[in-house]
Amino acid sequence: MPVTEFLERNAKLYGNEVALIELNPEEKDNRRITWKEYDLIESQRFLPYRREITWSVFDEKANRFANMLIKRGIKKGDKVAIIMYNCLEWLPIYFGVLKSGAIAVPFNFRYDADEILYCAELAEVDMIVFGPEFIGRIEKYADRLSRGRLLIFVGDNCPSFAESYMGLVSDCPSTSPNIPLTEDDYGAIYFSSGTTGFPKAILHKHRSLTQAAEMEQKHHGTSRDDVFLCIPPLYHTGAKFHWMGSLVAGSSAVLLKGAKPKTILSAISSEKCTIVWLLVPWAQDILDAFDRGELNPADYRLKQWRLMHIGAQPVPPVLIKRWKEYFPNHDYDTNYGLSESTGPGCVHLGVENIHKVGAIGVPGYRWECKIVDENGETVKQGEVGELCVKGPGVMTCYYNNPEATAETIKDGWLFTGDVAKQDEDGFYYLVDRKKDVIVSGGENIYPVQIEDFIRKFDKVKDVAVIGLPDERLGEKTAAVIEIKEGMECRKEEIDDFCMDLPRYKRPKVIFFEEIPRNATGKIEKPVLRKKHNADNLVGKETDSI
């Protein structure tokens, strides 16, 4: 069934219950409002900006947007791009697109004007819905973007080159447009992260969306009593489909703006959140704040918080060990996936398998996995190869890119580009990205293994290992290290610590600097390689920080 049916069911069964809360602790709101959560006495008081909608209002807003699209000529199979920061309008607009029969095309909010134009043309979008933060970027190519496309602005003071969202939807019916949908209809186009070049457009059917939603609810046992805290951007499959566990369960969720440790803990406390998905840097920041004594978990209402899970990148086992010291009663899960598999969960650790921290886990709900060699043959258990997954969440294709599709999908199997191995208990371990493997002196070196080791050093906050050109070895390992706040570290300390690594794995070059990560928490290694390849030519290296 199409995923929109869950929204319609929730509107009927739980219509007056809160579905979504938008919370921005860094923006103050002094409207004359009383919120029971904050027990206000004063008639005017500055508070964190907070809005909420019920399931019935959520569904009505989606219907109004769907009816507006149809009124403006959007047909089944047309494509509607969305580029907005997380807000209360985001998901109703997304579901309105789906209800109209159109294909939702979320854009990365970090795209510059050139990337917006590139993705709009690649995906052949018919409409772009954008927020106030993107006026300048849209305006740069407004003439080209508006050729055959509608530009819809969500916010106050609509620019002259666009039409106002509020003005368009206000007179539209709040009832369902009743466009017939099946799981075989196309539902969404997502873009690859672009860490290996320009993004590719990933086409999914409604079957994929429903699979991801049902899988998330099953993996984490999301119930009507849960409150999910959503921090990552909704344009990404990870955030959206983790939230869809709440959609399936009919429970509420909080869209939080801001990822500072105090912001996260305050939101969990005030909104009684029970499930939180964190990226590795955010979890690390929370633990560091505890260690420095800047924050005290006892100052927050956290007893109801039952599950912390992480995805989007390899998770250092030492991080989870530290986490359990502060939160011994938390369930924990690792989620692996990619946009081509409708986001996280095609492999997951499972809350019952915390003894296997370090593994990405076992095949997820309705998924199969295998590891193959360069010839596509399944390797023996314990051997390293490329991880392949198969299931109802595999993309249909890379839109308008049959060559890349043929390279990635073979006999129904999605070749992930990730190097992995399987242990004797059937658990999969991510070794590295296939393109990140360093070949030095004929040896394959997997950066993640070195990164996990260096993170154990108590002064290290984050680390990225990359390969740099070397005339003698072909490539040499370089470690880019971010030191914890308030600490100092010298290269010799890292060298001494790495003496326990095999000689060929020890970093030959060390840089001390901040680690760049994209909006989904992945280390931007192409950025580091490009930067330090130039440094490598002049022999530049950082001695200390």
State residue 40's pLDDT score: 35
Buried b / exposed e along 200-211 (16+ C-beta atoms within 10 A):
bbbbbbbbbbbb
Rounded Cα gap, residues 55 and 58, in angstroms:
5
φ and ψ at residue 318, rounded to 5 degrees:
-65, -30
Burial (0-12, 13-18, 19+ Cβ within 10 Å), 68: buried
| One-letter amino acid of 34 | T
State residue 433's pLDDT score: 67
Tokens of 153: 């602005």
| One-letter amino acid of 191 | F
Buried b / exposed e along 105-130 (16+ C-beta atoms within 10 A):
bbbbbebebebbbbbbebbbbbbbbb
Query: Which residues, 6 or more positions from 121, have their beta carbon under 8 angstroms from its beta carbon?
Result: none
Strands (E) in 71-182, as ranges, are 79-83, 103-106, 127-130, 150-153, 163-164
Query: Which residues, 6 or more positions from 95, have their beta carbon under 8 angstroms from its beta carbon?
Result: 4, 7, 58, 59, 62
Query: Which residues, 6 or more positions from 78, have their beta carbon under 8 angstroms from its beta carbon?
Result: 102, 103, 126, 127
CB 415 within 8 A of CB 409: yes
The pLDDT tens digits along the chain (545 residues) read: 899 999 999 999 999 999 999 998 766 554 433 333 333 333 333 456 899 999 999 999 999 999 999 999 999 999 999 999 999 999 999 999 999 999 999 998 888 898 899 999 999 999 999 999 999 999 999 999 998 899 999 999 999 999 999 999 999 999 999 999 999 999 999 998 654 457 899 999 999 999 999 999 999 999 999 999 999 899 988 889 999 999 999 999 999 998 899 999 999 999 999 999 998 888 988 999 999 999 999 999 999 999 999 876 667 788 899 999 999 999 999 998 989 999 889 999 999 998 998 899 999 999 999 999 989 999 999 999 999 999 999 999 999 999 999 999 999 999 998 889 999 999 999 876 667 778 776 567 878 778 888 988 989 998 989 888 876 667 888 999 999 888 899 999 999 999 988 787 889 999 999 888 766 667 777 788 888 875 554 445 666 56
Query: Which residues, 6 or more positions from 334, have their beta carbon under 8 angstroms from its beta carbon?
Result: 309, 310, 311, 315, 348, 349, 357, 359, 360, 361
Strands (E) in 30-125, as ranges, are 47-54, 79-83, 103-106
State residue 438's pLDDT score: 83
Q: Would you tell me how many other CB atoms lie within 10 Å of the CB of residue 321?
A: 11
Rounded Cα gap, residues 89 and 55, in angstroms:
13
State residue 343's pLDDT score: 86
Rounded Cα gap, residues 489 and 496, in angstroms:
12
How many helices (H) and strands (E) the chain has is answered by 16, 27
Angle between helices 90-99 and 4-13 (to 10 degrees): 110
| The residue to which tokens 């791009």 are assigned | 81
Tell me the sheet residues that pair with 464. 480
Handedness of CA 118, 122, 123, 125 (dihedral sign): positive
Q: For residue 230, which of 309, 132, 288 has the smallest C-alpha distance? A: 309
- As a whole number of Å, the CA-based R_g of the chain is 24
Helix (H, G, I), strand (E, B) or coil at 170: coil
Rounded Cα gap, residues 450 and 506, in angstroms:
8
Q: For residue 338, which of 191, 466, 234 has the smallest C-alpha distance? A: 191
State residue 432's pLDDT score: 66
| Cα separation values, 346 from 262, 315, 455, Å | 32, 16, 27
φ and ψ at residue 108, rounded to 5 degrees:
-60, 125
Q: Would you tell me how many other CB atoms lie within 10 Å of the CB of residue 488?
A: 11
Rounded Cα gap, residues 503 and 105, in angstroms:
47
Rounded Cα gap, residues 162 and 178, in angstroms:
28
